[in-house]
Amino acid sequence: MVDNIMDMFSTTNPVFRAYLFYSAVLVVKMLAMSLLTARQRFKHKVFANPEDAAGKGAKVRFDNTDIERVRR
């Protein structure tokens, strides 16, 4: 039984390989989306926290359409 379970979590198992691949794709997507959101926030000078906007001459807003489009 233990050997069978270890075979399921082996990279020779095509289903487990697919799981690893798509998990990695999702992690990369999450990291890319956080960078894109930060880029849009700096580009439009709109931040969600007063601490972030304090020294940059930016506004605190929650309804910028460009930023919300990236966040969705």
pLDDT digits (tens, 9 = 90+) for 37-49: 888 888 888 877 7
Phi, psi (rounded to 5 degrees) for 64: -75, 125
How far apart CA 57 and CA 68 sit, in angstroms, is 21
pLDDT at 2: 55
Domain extent for 19:
2-71
Phi, psi of 54 (to 5 degrees): -60, -55
The reported pTM is 0.67
How many domains does the chain divide into? Answer: 1
